[in-house]
Amino acid sequence: MSATIIDGKQLAQKKGEMIKTALERLKTQGITPGLAVMLVGEDPASETYVRNKQRACERMGIHSRLIRLPTTATEQHLLDHVVQLNEDPHIDGILVQLPLPVHISTETVIRAISPEKDVDCFHPLNVGKMILGETGFLPCTPHGILVMLKEIGVTLSGKHVVVVGRSHIVGKPVGQLLLNEDATVTYCHSRTENLSSFTKQADILIVAVGRANLITEADVKEGAIVIDVGMNRVNNKLVGDVEFASVRDKAAFLTPVPGGVGPMTITMLLENTVYAATKARAVMA
Ligand SMILES: Nc1nc(=O)c2c([nH]1)NC[C@@H]1CN(c3ccc(C(=O)N[C@@H](CCC(=O)O)C(=O)O)cc3)C=[N+]21
């Protein structure tokens, strides 16, 4: 069997059209949602991601503002900017690109972002609401994955989802989102013993570790759905955490890297920005 490749780029475009319609409606009410992105330092991967986010905003007609700070910026300096953005009526969403330099506390900076403008859904208040299944922001990458799974029409209720990785940005929240969809969720991570014995049980395998080719065909059940969240640069080429060529012959569905989860992440960020704007300005999108 050769897996159906889930085209994240195409799906992101399709969802993008819907967001565009909402934006046009907002425009007629004189509203242009605004997103502020803060980038500290010069990490080349972060530069690429931020550029992609900005381009997406431009394409959609979302006002975007990039705030660049040098690696040497102090935590207070960053916090001052966050406070300013919290109060800025033109800004509906604030995203602080991670990772931050080690001398800055990520936790402190994220807590400083107004929960109403937290389009990443990283603030503890929004994380809590998400876990409780309350309405509000959903984290971008996990939400993008959920949308992909819904698009292929899989029933999530009762399915065994195995998540490899427990980061605050992908692993932990994606498991919680799928738990809310009545999936049975197993978390694996760097300390898991006999990883393969778990991954082979997965109906849906989500890999978000950051290690090229960690998962091979031997780790996957025949007919599984495999979602690859990895972004690894190997010999100047972007590859995921899943060995694409071999897993493709065993899985029923597989997401590519690039062109899978990445583009969906950006589209969900735009959706959150529009959501923030409609909430803040008490209008219907
Ligand atoms: N506060 C914060 N929010 C984030 O959402 C966030 C972050 N920090 N730090 C880093 C990760 C990573 N991330 C990606 C987004 C898009 C692509 C993406 O568009 N990828 C393209 C390829 C990009 C390329 O060519 O390098 C693709 O997969 O097709 C990748 C990775 C968001 N993150």
Tell me if 199 CB under 6 Å of ligand 1.
no
Residue 207 lies in a domain: yes
CATH number at residue 104: 3.40.50.10860
245 and 195 co-located in one domain: yes
Number of compact structural domains in the chain: 2
Q: Which amino acid is at 74?
A: T
> In a 3-state reduction of DSSP, which class is residue 198?
helix
Residue 279 lies in a domain: no
Residue 157 corresponds to which tokens in the numbers above?
């209720």
Considering only CA atoms, which residue is closest to atom 13 of ligand 1?
49
Considering only CA atoms, which residue is closest to atom 20 of ligand 1?
262
224 and 163 co-located in one domain: yes
Range of the domain at 235: 140-261
Considering only CA atoms, which residue is closest to atom 2 of ligand 1?
97
Among 102, 103, 104, 142, smallest CA distance to 122 is for 142
CATH number at residue 220: 3.40.50.720
Tell me if 120 CB under 6 Å of ligand 1.
yes
Residue 134 corresponds to which tokens in the numbers above?
């309350």
What is the pLDDT at residue 283?
72
Contacts 24+ apart (CB under 8 A), 135-140: 137/272, 137/275, 137/276, 138/177, 138/268, 138/272, 139/169, 139/170, 139/173, 139/174, 139/177, 140/265, 140/266, 140/268, 140/269, 140/272
**Contact assessment for residue 205 and residue 117, using Cβ atoms and an 8 Å cutoff:** no
Tell me if 95 CB under 6 Å of ligand 1.
yes
Q: In which residue are the tokens 């062109």 written?
A: 259
34 phi/psi in degrees, rounded to 5: -125, 135
Ligand 1 centroid to residue 166 C-alpha, Å: 17
Residue 1 lies in a domain: no
Residue 201 lies in a domain: yes
> CB under 8 Å to 247, separation ≥6 — which residues?
3, 215, 216, 217, 220, 226, 254
Tell me if 49 CB under 6 Å of ligand 1.
yes
38 and 104 co-located in one domain: yes
Q: Which amino acid is at 111?
A: R
Residue 23 lies in a domain: no
For 48, half-sphere exposure in the C-beta direction (CA atoms, 13 angstrom radius) is: 8
Tell me if 263 CB under 6 Å of ligand 1.
yes
Mutate to test the pocket of ligand 1, among 7, 35, 46, 49 (most ligand atoms within 8 A of CB): 49
Question: 168-201 burial string, b = 16+ CB within 10 Å, else e?
Answer: ebbbbbbbbbbeebebebbbbeeeeeebeebbbe
pLDDT along the chain (285 residues), means of 10: 95 97 94 98 93 95 97 98 98 97 98 98 98 98 98 98 98 98 98 98 98 98 98 96 98 98 98 96 73
- Active-site residue list: 53, 97, 120
Ligand 1 centroid to residue 103 C-alpha, Å: 23
Question: Which of 62, 80, 115 is where one domain is finished?
Answer: 115
Question: Which of 55, 81, 115 is where one domain is finished?
Answer: 115
Considering only CA atoms, which residue is closest to atom 10 of ligand 1?
98
Cα–Cα distance measured from residue 256 to residue 156, given in angstroms and rounded to the nearest whole number: 21
Q: Which amino acid is at 56?
A: A
174 and 257 co-located in one domain: yes
226 phi/psi in degrees, rounded to 5: -120, 120
156 and 233 co-located in one domain: yes
256 and 146 co-located in one domain: yes
Considering only CA atoms, which residue is closest to atom 21 of ligand 1?
262
Residue 3 lies in a domain: no
Ligand 1 centroid to residue 146 C-alpha, Å: 17
Residue 58 lies in a domain: yes
153 and 110 co-located in one domain: no
161 and 234 co-located in one domain: yes
Annotated binding site: 165-167
Cα–Cα distance measured from residue 257 to residue 238, given in angstroms and rounded to the nearest whole number: 7
150 and 193 co-located in one domain: yes
Residue 280 lies in a domain: no
What is the pLDDT at residue 1?
72
ipTM score over 0.85, yes or no? yes
192 and 153 co-located in one domain: yes
94 and 144 co-located in one domain: no
Annotated binding site for NADP(+): 165-167
What is the pLDDT at residue 263?
97
147 and 253 co-located in one domain: yes
Q: Render pLDDT for 110-142 as a digit per residue (tens, 0 to 9).
A: 999 999 999 999 999 999 999 999 999 999 999
